[in-house]
Amino acid sequence: MRYFFWIISFLFLYNQSYSQNSFSIGFKSGYSSSNIHFYNNFFPSNTNTNPLNSFNYSFVSEIQTQKNVGLRFEISHQKKGWKQEFLDGQFYHSTINYLNIPILMNAYVGKSKTKLLFSIGPFFDFLLNHDNAYSLLDEDANTILDVDYNSLRDNEFGYGLMASAGISFDLNKNKLQLISSYQYNLDNLIDVVERTSELPDISNFNTFTLSLVYLLKVKN
């Protein structure tokens, strides 16, 4: 909870410091495609995975200056994970639910009511829960199950960089936006202590999202 307190306090103080800023709040709904990059540097091998697709929803707040630059803060429920499908009919699906918090610097380009929007900044992941579904032969189960989140071994906190671009429509005090974004986790899902041929030392999530955003201006 202390993370939310500091973030919200920062946004409040930032907004109060510049009276010419506008402040908007709203919601975002999106369709995401998430996958993970597994690679073992010490025993070179690459594990092929397929993306996990899902819908997500976010709360959005935005501070914008008269120069069309500002700060965007989001809180979302984000699903990240991957799928593995094998020729013999076996499969493994991993889904990890995160509280995802991006803090982005953004810029609007254009002078009309239709503008281009660009954003970039860090994001933070807080694990909520993990689930998996699989059909595996006994001799393969232990190896595949070990290459996934383990609460006794791995971190519940993640971080990375997010970049987005889109188009924004000004509708009086409202904004309607269509945005594409990409998140890349700089941390590894799996916390490797001992190098082995079965456990990859690189395990980074990458997530692409197409979103529709509605913002309501509450302060001019």
pTM of the prediction?
0.84
Specify burial of residue 77 (Cβ count, 10 A radius: 0-12, 13-18, 19+). Answer: middle
* Residue 20 DSSP symbol: T
Condensed to tens digits (0 to 9), the pLDDT of residues 64-105 reads: 887 889 999 999 999 999 998 887 778 888 899 999 999 999
Beta strands in the chain (DSSP E): 22-40, 45-47, 50-64, 69-85, 91-109, 114-135, 157-171, 174-185, 202-219
Closest CA to 38 of 103, 82, 78: 82
Condensed to tens digits (0 to 9), the pLDDT of residues 11-34 reads: 555 555 445 678 899 999 999 999
Is pLDDT at 3 greater than 60 in this prediction?
no
Domain 2-71+79-219 annotated CATH 1.10.3720.10 = no
How many alpha carbons fall within 13 Å on the CB side of residue 49?
27
pLDDT band at 2 (very low <50, low <70, confident <90, very high): low
Condensed to tens digits (0 to 9), the pLDDT of residues 134-179 reads: 787 665 666 666 677 887 888 899 999 999 999 999 988 899 999 9
Per-domain boundaries in the chain: 2-71+79-219
Residue found under tokens 């020729």: 87
The two three-digit tokens of residue 215, written as one number: 């913002």
* Residue 21 DSSP symbol: -
219 DSSP β-pair partners: 23
Closest CA to 34 of 166, 219, 158: 158
